[in-house]
Structure 1
Amino acid sequence: MEKFKLKEGEEYIALKDLIKILGWADTGGEAMSRIDNQEIKLNGAIETQRRKKVRSGDVVMFGSSQAQVE
């Protein structure tokens, strides 16, 4: 499982931004499309909110890829 560390002072990151940073999408549009197509899971459940706040301890999944936010 991949680890993603929030920047100092950040409480959360938007789901669409995290998908781009992790390299699961090349553009913001592609990231939003993956969310709209229900390809992304947050803590085991399909997530459809593009700007969902992903916080420390959350696990994001795309296909066989997983990342935990710290």
Structure 2
Amino acid sequence: MSIDGDVIRLGQFLKLADVVEAGSEVKAVLASGSVSVNGEVETRRGRQLRPGDEVTLPGEQLRVG
């Protein structure tokens, strides 16, 4: 998935990638501990992602581009 600018927040990225339908779902998905960024579990929806970062969820691996 490509982004405009240098960074995108994790919560926004998950919505744009259609991983969640609404912003309100992001908090629950992250709280479950099932999301990792570059191999590390991430629970902050405000985490800034940069091109090349990998976001992994059960059954999905996404790359910020």
Q: TM-score by structure 1 length?
A: 0.86
Residue 60 in structure 1 maps to residue 55 in structure 2: yes
Match of 2:3 in 1: 6
Secondary structure, aligned partner of 2:55: strand
**Structure 1 spans left out of the alignment, 5+ residues:** none
One-letter amino acid matched to 2:22: T
One-letter amino acid matched to 2:24: G
Q: TM-score by structure 2 length?
A: 0.92
| Structure number having the greater strand percentage | 1
| Selected match of 2:31 from 24, 36, 53 | 36
**Structure 2 spans left out of the alignment, 5+ residues:** none
- Distance in 1 between the 2:47 and 2:57 partners? 15
Give deviations 1:24-63, integer Å, cap 9, x for gaps. Answer: 1111010121011112110111101110001011000110
Task: Name the % identity.
Answer: 25
C-alpha RMSD over aligned residues: 0.8
Secondary structure, aligned partner of 2:3: coil
One-letter amino acid matched to 1:53: Q
Aligned residues: 65
Cα deviation, residue 6, structure 1: 1.1
Cα deviation, residue 69, structure 1: 0.8
